[in-house]
Amino acid sequence: MDVLISISDEIYRHAKDGSEDSNDEWNAMRAIANGTPIPDNATVCEWIPMTKRPMTDDEKEYYKEELEYCDDAEIFDCKLPEDDEEVLITMNGWVTIDTFDRDFTDGCSFEGYDIDDVKAWMPLPEPYKPQESEDKE
C-alpha cells in the first residue's frame, strides 16, 4: 500500500493545475490507499512474476543457433505479454509502463529496460468508463 500512497502523492504533485480530472485521479488513488471499498464490478489486475527455469536438453538443441552459451541457459517460465503490448512493469521498488517486444531472432525484451531487471509485469487496466447514472449527473 506504501507504493500506492507514493503514486497518489506523485499524481497530487503534478495535479496543481486545479483541473477536475487531475483532482479526480488523486482522490481515487487516495481513497483506494485509505481502504475505501472497491466496487464489485471493478477489474483487479495482479502482478505476474518474471520467472525463469533452466532449459531442457531438447530446448537447448532447438535454440542452439541463437544461444552463445548453452550450459546455463534459462527460459522464461511465466506468462509473457503479447508482442508490442504496453504493460506495467516493476523493478527495484518502482513501477513504470513499457512495451514488450518478442523478437524471434534475439528473444524478448522491453523497449526501455533490461528484461532481466524486471521483477514482474501487469496488463494495463481498462480506461475508466463512467456508469450511466454518473453521466446524467
Domain of residue 20: give its range.
1-37
30 forms beta bridges with none
Residue 78 sits in the same domain as residue 118:
yes
Q: What is the DSSP letter of 128?
A: P
pTM: 0.59
Query: What is the per-residue pLDDT across 104-128, written as a single tens digit (0 to 9) for each?
Result: 655 788 999 999 899 999 999 888 8
Question: In the block, which residue shows the cell 502523492?
Answer: 9
Mark whether 33 and 53 lie in a shared domain.
Answer: no
Quote the number of domains for the chain.
2
- What would the pLDDT profile of 13-42 be if each residue is shown by its tens digit? 555 445 445 455 556 556 656 666 656 665
pLDDT at 66 over 80: no
Asked whether residue 1 carries a pLDDT value surpassing 80, the answer given is no
Question: What is the per-residue pLDDT for 51?
Answer: 94
65 and 27 within one domain: no
Question: Is the domain of 105 the same as that of 68?
Answer: yes
Taking CB atoms within 8 Å and a gap of at least 24, the contacts of 7-10 are 7/95, 8/33
Q: Is 85 found in the same domain as 109?
A: yes
Residues 40-59, mean pLDDT to the nearest whole number? 82
